[in-house]
Amino acid sequence: MPNRSDPYKIAIFGPGDVGCVVIREAARLPEFQIVGALVFQEKKDGVDIGTLAGIAELGVKATRDLDKFLAIPCDAVVHTALDAPFINTLEDFKKLLEAGKNVVTCHPYSYLPARSSEFAETIKAAALKGQATFYGGGLNPDFITQRLAILLTGLSNDVQRIKIEEYFDCEDQTNTGNLQVIGLGSDPQKVQDENGSAIWYQKHFWFQMIEHIAYELGVKIDRIEATSKCAPAPEDIVRPAMTIKKGQTGIVSYESIGYVNDKPFISILIGWYQSPIMKPAHVKSETEWILTIEGRPSSRTVLDLKASFESDAKHVEGEPMPPGYHAFGVTLLQSVPMVVEAKPGFKAPDVPPVHWKKDQRVNVASCYTEE
């Protein structure tokens, strides 16, 4: 594609923690320009977007009016609003695409075969109508699961097991509701409701990523199971977003496991803990991924995210969110140019073409796409 001289104009759909990271990063880079934001709280309506993100005013005000938001000329909408069982996210995607807005969402709608036919058909029809592109990206999905994990299988033959572990220290998070949804501060003896939000997120998000990895590797998943574990805090943990009393849940982890021939083949474990005293013994950093490939030979890759490896700074200068959230926003922002330049329709993640497969004669140098 030819080089571009004018900035990519971006509007934010739901500027919460991650959306504000995107705003702050875009505001400091000449190749991007924030031109709008859709908010849901009355107190944010009409507020300068820079003010919402904690930086200097950008001269653009946020709106609660969806019609006004859809009328904003932009190259792409970065969708970082909450996705939950009680929210019709598909309807939001449909309206954006039909209005001609390219969409980059932070939620893992990146492998349509794992979605309902209604979802897939709605996205493709709306994209066609608006001549727009839809992309689900970010840290996970996309970077960790569909790109990095699959790339690392290229070091092995006869892969028998893939384990993806993510650990995140939540002590600096400000959204109390999110922490409660995942189970922090709850009764450790209370079994997660099969229909509760935390289990819903596993089935709705991580199951899809397991199915996508399996497709790229040429293996068939027999079934996927969702499990959870938690442990009590040994003492009171007092943080701005919440206070966890001694004995309440101080760490919780959710693991989704895909089985092949009744043996675990792909697993995704995400653990959230509140403060360093709850950090698992084998975890070295506040934000860490551990990717283990068992094969011929086997490999283990540890990915740590820090503000700096040359200083003890906890945050990157000018960025109040922890490195995990910061990187999340960066991956979304970096997706914008690719999505803008892509042809209209559903854009799948760009999986590395060279990696382990059950049979290297199948789907040579190609990956999942949608026509």
Residues 347-370: pLDDT tens digits? 999 999 999 999 999 999 889 999
Q: What's the CATH code of the domain at 151? A: 3.30.360
Claim to verify: residue 153 and residue 281 sit in the same structural domain: yes
Claim to verify: residue 116 and residue 203 sit in the same structural domain: no
State what percent of residues in the chain have pLDDT above 70. Answer: 98
- Domain boundary pick from 305, 324, 344: 305
Claim to verify: residue 127 and residue 162 sit in the same structural domain: no
Cis before 297? omega within 30: yes
For residue 190, the model assigns a pLDDT of 74
Contact 123, 340 (CB under 8 A): no
State what percent of residues in the chain have pLDDT above 90. Answer: 84
Claim to verify: residue 358 and residue 256 sit in the same structural domain: no
Q: What's the CATH code of the domain at 8? A: 3.40.50.720
For residue 193, the model assigns a pLDDT of 64
For residue 195, the model assigns a pLDDT of 64
Report the mean per-residue pLDDT for the chain.
95
For residue 191, the model assigns a pLDDT of 53
- Look at strands 345-347 and 76-79 and give their pairing: unpaired
pLDDT in tens, 16-59: 999 999 999 999 999 999 999 999 999 999 999 999 999 999 99
- Domain boundary pick from 269, 289, 305: 305
Instruction: Tell me: pLDDT of 73 over 80.
Output: yes
For residue 307, the model assigns a pLDDT of 95
User: Which residues have a Cβ under 8 Å from the Cβ of 195 and sit 6 or more positions away?
Assistant: none
Claim to verify: residue 271 and residue 351 sit in the same structural domain: no
Claim to verify: residue 264 and residue 321 sit in the same structural domain: no
For residue 199, the model assigns a pLDDT of 79
Claim to verify: residue 146 and residue 292 sit in the same structural domain: yes
For residue 182, the model assigns a pLDDT of 85
For residue 200, the model assigns a pLDDT of 82
Instruction: Tell me: pLDDT of 85 over 90.
Output: no
Claim to verify: residue 117 and residue 213 sit in the same structural domain: no
- Domain boundary pick from 262, 287, 305: 305
User: Which residues have a Cβ under 8 Å from the Cβ of 364 and sit 6 or more positions away?
Assistant: none
DSSP string, 55-121: SS--S-B-BS-HHHHHTS--SEEEE-S---TTS-HHHHHHHHHHTT--EEESS----GGGS-HHHHH
For residue 161, the model assigns a pLDDT of 99
Claim to verify: residue 145 and residue 240 sit in the same structural domain: yes
Which residue segment(s) compose the domain that 177 sits in?
140-305
Residue with the bigger pLDDT between 270 and 199: it is 270
Claim to verify: residue 128 and residue 228 sit in the same structural domain: no
pLDDT band at 1 (very low <50, low <70, confident <90, very high): low
Among the residue ranges 108-122, 193-207, 261-275, 285-299, the one predicted with the least confidence is: 193-207
pLDDT in tens, 173-193: 877 888 888 889 988 887 566
Residue with the bigger pLDDT between 108 and 133: it is 133
Give me the mean pLDDT over the 140-168 stretch: 97
pLDDT in tens, 206-248: 999 999 999 999 999 999 999 888 999 999 999 988 999 999 9
pLDDT band at 198 (very low <50, low <70, confident <90, very high): confident
Amino acid 174 reads T
* CA atoms within 13 A of residue 225's CA, in its CB half-sphere: 9
Claim to verify: residue 170 and residue 283 sit in the same structural domain: yes
Give me the mean pLDDT over the 326-330 stretch: 97
Total domains in the fold of the chain: 2
Give me the mean pLDDT over the 304-308 stretch: 95
pLDDT in tens, 93-126: 999 999 999 999 999 999 999 999 999 999 999 9
Claim to verify: residue 263 and residue 335 sit in the same structural domain: no
How many Cβ atoms sit within 10 Å of the Cβ of residue 94? Answer: 19
